[in-house]
Amino acid sequence: MVEENKNDRNNKNHKSCKRKKNNNEKKIERPEEPAACTAQQQPPKKKNRKEVAIFGNYRNYYGYRVGQDLEEDPRLKVMKREWFEGKDSLDIGCNSGLLTIAIARKFGCKSIFGVDIDGARIEDAHWTLRKVVNARMHNVPSKIPKSVDAKVVNGAAESLTEGKRDNDGDSPLLVEKDLFKIVSFQKGNFVQNWRPPANTYYQTILCLSVTKWIHLNWGDDGLITLFRRAWTLLQPGGVFILEPQPWSSYYNNRLVSETASANYKNIQIPPEDFQDVLLDKVGFRMVENLTSGLSGTKSGFDRPILAFWK
Ligand SMILES: C[S@@+](CC[C@H](N)C(=O)[O-])C[C@H]1O[C@@H](n2cnc3c(N)ncnc32)[C@H](O)[C@@H]1O
């Protein structure tokens, strides 16, 4: 089970983050720690020897997120063609690249670049891209292992080719060859060492379900770095698409590492303040809330999606 999903659901009972103003001092509400349950006293338990995804770098993320009966990630429904068609885009925290590839083909990106801190997820993304391209070029059903993620890959391959045919009637061969030129992936930490090629600016930047992990690992400073770097890398008029996880979901991930635990206690910018920070401090000029267009979202992943214009 993906922790993030489970946690979001479990935390419905926890108090959500609220701000109390007391003599200009901001207090972020945090559920009380159970006795003898701090990172120092009790290190994170390894459940069934599963890897702990300290960056939210879950293997098989889309298997859980998109679900058994959905061919398409519901977030695609709120994305607008004009943000991607013929445009250069960046996907921060792309995981195994399913959504990155689906966006490239559904909306006809000029280019889309996925960056993720976990090299294993980037390898998965390259594998996914090859699988989608090969399946369509040879016009045979791809022999992908029977897993939920594989079902999503097959669905992506199908809808991608159909999307392109609908748009301009290009042959599937041409379409899939192009996909290698359009989509690329690279390992990198967006808030530390990753840099795009010199003089590269994007018209659209995606940051979906990543803020909690940057917040827990690099605190408020990391979050502000994320927002400022996204703004800097956007062309004027460009759009930053943000899907923040709610404060209530931070609680169960706070023990993934001692760093996360320490940062959790010190966070002063709750997700409900992100919009104000992006508009008033970072410099975005306008916001549109896209959440109402979402439907078919799996329980535990019902999060707001906001678009900010530079
Ligand atoms: C929960 S997944 C979300 C995946 C994808 N954006 C989506 O919503 O479908 C979060 C991803 O962000 C990546 N990540 C976390 N911190 C990062 C950082 N500092 N730089 C780049 N990627 C990061 C993780 O490795 C993980 O794959």
281: CATH: 3.40.50.150
Q: Is residue 262 in a domain?
A: yes
Give the distance (Å) from ligand 1 centre to CA of residue 88. 20
pLDDT at 107: 93
Task: Among 188, 213, 247, give the residue marking a domain's end.
Answer: 188
Enclosing H/E stretch for 120: helix 119-137
Q: Is residue 122 in a domain?
A: yes
Q: State whether 159 and 235 are in the same domain.
A: no
102 lines ligand 1 (CB under 6 A): no
Extract the tokens encoding 267: 């966070």
The closest residue, in CA terms, to atom 19 on ligand 1 is: 189
Q: State whether 146 and 198 are in the same domain.
A: no
Rounded Cα gap, residues 216 and 260, in angstroms: 5
249 lines ligand 1 (CB under 6 A): no
Q: Which atom of ligand 1 is nearest to the CA of 118?
A: 25
Q: State whether 238 and 130 are in the same domain.
A: no
Q: State whether 136 and 268 are in the same domain.
A: no
Q: Is residue 54 in a domain?
A: no
Whether pTM exceeds 0.75: yes
Q: Is residue 263 in a domain?
A: yes
The closest residue, in CA terms, to atom 25 on ligand 1 is: 57
Q: In the chain, which residues have pLDDT < 70?
A: 1-26, 35-49, 64-71, 139-177, 293, 296-300
Q: Is residue 61 in a domain?
A: no
How many other CB atoms sit within 10 Å of the CB of residue 121?
Answer: 23
State the residue range of the domain holding 159.
Answer: 118-188
pLDDT at 20: 38
Q: State whether 198 and 265 are in the same domain.
A: yes
Kindly report the length of the chain: 310
Rounded Cα gap, residues 145 and 87, in angstroms: 33
Q: State whether 235 and 277 are in the same domain.
A: yes
Phi/psi-derived region of residue 195, left when phi > 0, alpha when psi is between -120 and 50, beta in every other case: beta
Q: State whether 157 and 259 are in the same domain.
A: no
Q: Is residue 83 in a domain?
A: yes
Q: How far apart are the first and last CA of the chain?
A: 37
Q: State whether 280 and 144 are in the same domain.
A: no
Domain count, the chain: 2
For strand 306-309 and strand 234-243, is the pairing parallel, antiparallel, or unpaired?
antiparallel
Q: State whether 292 and 150 are in the same domain.
A: no
pLDDT at 7: 43
CB 137 within 8 A of CB 176: yes
Q: Is residue 102 in a domain?
A: no
pLDDT at 32: 82
Task: Among 134, 164, 188, give the residue marking a domain's end.
Answer: 188
Q: State whether 175 and 270 are in the same domain.
A: no
Q: State whether 154 and 211 are in the same domain.
A: no
Task: Among 166, 188, 210, give the residue marking a domain's end.
Answer: 188
Q: Is residue 227 in a domain?
A: yes
214 lines ligand 1 (CB under 6 A): yes
Give the distance (Å) from ligand 1 centre to CA of residue 190. 10
Q: State whether 253 and 148 are in the same domain.
A: no
Q: Which atom of ligand 1 is nearest to the CA of 206?
A: 6
